[in-house]
Amino acid sequence: MSSSTHEQKSNHQAGDLSHLAAGGAGTVAHLVARDVLIEYPSPGSDQVTIAVQNCDLVLERGDFVVLVGPSGCGKTTLLNAVAGFVPVTGGVLELDGRPIPGPGPDRAMVFQQPNLLPWRSVLANVTYGLELSKKVKKAEARSQAADLLELVGLADVAQKYPAQLSGGMQARVNLARALAVEPEILLLDEPFAAIDAQTRELMQAELLRICAARDVTALFVTHDITEAAFLADRVCVFGPRPGRIVKEIQVPWGRPRSHDIRRTPEFTALSEEIGDVLYSAIADARAAQLEGAAR
């Protein structure tokens, strides 16, 4: 994958990013988050809650970056900001050098719940994004969707309704629907969290295969450490209160990957490293909170 050539650039300093973000289109990193601050008003008071603070992140084309962190740490908020659902209060968040105006078909989101439209057949669910954007003709959309269903292994259920599918199959349709609009970046918000453990591991391998086949850039949010270690080129460990990236960890193995790497000592070591960073960040946040409460 092309990502390997960019990996050195990804381990950036915040300083040399400014010219990248401001420069010509040719040198701009794909997704740039610099010193991002996201606040939202607390319900029932004048105060604001800081969801994300001092957050830096760079994605090159073809990168597969996983944000891992405890629930409620703000990683999903950052993802929602990239998707355009949540405005950024401070700092820079740019896609291809342009600030994010709002939701758009260049960024496709895969949610934890498949959220398939129940009155549409599987095929019609996959063409949904294409229908909305009206960029391609209906017949063309259908044939693209059929190809995608082939890719995710669901060609034979194209005419069924979502209610007739298992959870794992719905997750595949969800993925195919997101890929159908050929997004610049695929945003995944714990897409496999509601799936049973065995299916989840299969889906993870499937996701890597599909991303490789389509040369997808992906930003993946999870709280599952082994999921992060298995999927990512880079793992960004998110710490809570305020949400920020505590550490970026480069994953040592390339692609394609198989389930075998789960059994290697390197995999265990990486999982432990992620876990250590994660738990110490949580402990720090808790200590800070206790200190604040004591005052």
Partner 1 sequence: MTTTSSEASVRPVSTSKPAGTPTRRPGGRPRRRRSSWLTEQRVIGTAAVIVALVVWELVALARVKPALILPGPIDVLRAFRDLFSTSAIWTDLWVSAEELLIGLVIATLIGLPVGLLIGWYKRVAYALNPFVNFLYATPRIALTPLLIIWLGIGSSSKIAIVFLMALFPILINTAQGMQSLDQGSVRVARCFGASDLQLFRTVALPGTVPFVASGLRLAVGQALIGVFVAELSGATHGVGLMMSTAGQQFQTSKVFAGLFIFAFAGVTLTAVLRRVEQHFAAWRLGS
Site string for partner 1, 46-75 (x = CB under 8 A): ------------------------------
For position 213 contacting partner 1 by CB under 8 A, the verdict is no
As a three-state string, the secondary structure of 57-121 is EEECCCCEEEEECCCCCCHHHHHHHHHCCCCCCEEEEEECCEECCCCCCCEEEECCCCCCCCCCC
Q: Which is nearer to partner 1, 93 or 157 (CB)?
A: 157
Stretch binding partner 1 (CB under 8 A), from 27-35, 47-55, 148-156, 283-291: 148-156
Q: Coil, helix or strand for 139?
A: helix
For position 99 contacting partner 1 by CB under 8 A, the verdict is no
CA–CA dist 85, 78 (Å, integer): 10
Q: Coil, helix or strand for 184?
A: coil
Q: Which is nearer to partner 1, 53 or 174 (CB)?
A: 174
The binder of partner 1 chosen from 62, 69, 129, 239 (CB under 8 A): 129
For position 97 contacting partner 1 by CB under 8 A, the verdict is no
The binder of partner 1 chosen from 64, 128, 192, 230 (CB under 8 A): 128
For position 136 contacting partner 1 by CB under 8 A, the verdict is no
Q: How many residues bind partner 1 (CB under 8 A)?
A: 39
Q: Which is nearer to partner 1, 28 or 210 (CB)?
A: 210
For position 271 contacting partner 1 by CB under 8 A, the verdict is no
The binder of partner 1 chosen from 103, 250, 266, 272 (CB under 8 A): 103
CA–CA dist 117, 127 (Å, integer): 11
Cβ contact 223:190 at 8 Å: yes
Identity (one letter) of the amino acid at 59?
A: L
Stretch binding partner 1 (CB under 8 A), from 26-34, 44-52, 158-166, 285-293: 158-166
Instruction: Find the shortest distance in angstroms from Cβ 24 to partner 1.
Output: 27
- Which strands sit side by side in the sheet containing 64-68, from one edge to the other? 107-110, 185-189, 218-222, 64-68, 234-239, 244-250
- Structure-block tokens of residue 204: 């993870």
CA–CA dist 199, 146 (Å, integer): 23
Helices 197-214 + 138-151 axis angle, to 10: 130
For position 156 contacting partner 1 by CB under 8 A, the verdict is yes
Cβ contact 245:57 at 8 Å: yes
Site string for partner 1, 77-96 (x = CB under 8 A): ------x-x-----------
Instruction: Sort 163 into a burial class: Cβ within 10 Å, 0-12 / 13-18 / 19+.
Output: exposed
For position 208 contacting partner 1 by CB under 8 A, the verdict is no
Cβ contact 28:40 at 8 Å: no
Instruction: Find the shortest distance in angstroms from Cβ 202 to partner 1.
Output: 6
Stretch binding partner 1 (CB under 8 A), from 17-25, 156-164, 261-269, 276-284: 156-164
Note the residues at the interface with partner 1 (CB under 8 A).
83, 85, 103-105, 107-109, 111, 113, 115, 117-120, 128-129, 131-133, 153-154, 156-157, 159-166, 168-169, 177, 181, 199, 202, 206
